[in-house]
Every structure is written in structure tokens, then in C-alpha cells.
Amino acid sequence: MYLTSEVKKGFAKTHGKSDKDTGSAEVQIALFTHRINHLTGHLQRLKKDVATQRSLLNLVAKRKHLLDYMKRTNLEKYRTLLKTLDIRK
């Protein structure tokens, strides 16, 4: 599996407050970005996988809502998160 507990702990350590902080908005956005990149690569190989395409669109929408929340609450963290994750906005 591409998203193991070690990968989650790594994201939590770099973007969160501790290695067990997987619920904060920054860590959730990082995890969603990782999953989006993985599913994008999958869809480039299998173009007719409609179920994966739908789940990718749902993930992008969830990440967008969390990014809007981050923009409203903490603009500085929002800007650094966009730079570190290389998200266009």
C-alpha cells in the first residue's frame, strides 16, 4: 500500500505538531495531496477507470475546502503549506 503508517507519521512530523497529530488541517491537506498525486498517476495509466476518477474529484474538493479553511484562519501557514506541497492556487 502506498500510504503506510510510517508515511502518515512522516507527514504528521513535518506538517503537524507531533508525529501523532494526523487530524490537523495541515496534515490532512498533505495526506490528501499525496493521495491525489498517487491517483493521478494511476489515471494516467488507466484512463477509463471512472470510479477512481470520481474519488479523485472528491479528494480534490475536500482538499479545497480545507485549504479555504486554512486561508481564513491562518494565512501564513496557508502560504507556507502551498509552497512546501507545491500546490498551485
Please name the residue that has the C-alpha cell 474519488: 55
Please, what are the averages of pLDDT over each run of 10 residues along the chain (89 residues)? 83 86 92 95 95 97 97 95 89
Measured from the Cβ of residue 3, the count of other Cβ atoms closer than 10 Å reads: 12
Q: Would you state the cell numbers that stand for residue 65, as one nine-digit string?
A: 475546502
Q: What is the pLDDT of residue 1?
A: 59
Q: Would the pTM count as exceeding 0.75? A: yes
Q: Which residues contact 67 (CB under 8 A, 6 or more apart)?
A: 29, 78, 82, 87, 89
Q: Say which amino acid occupies 13.
A: K
| Coarse DSSP helix, strand, coil percentages of the chain, rounded to the nearest 5 percent | 75, 0, 25
Q: What is the pLDDT of residue 72?
A: 96
Q: What is the pLDDT of residue 73?
A: 96
Q: Which CATH number fits domain 5-85: 1.10.357.10, 1.10.287.130, 1.10.287.10, 3.40.50.300?
A: 1.10.287.10
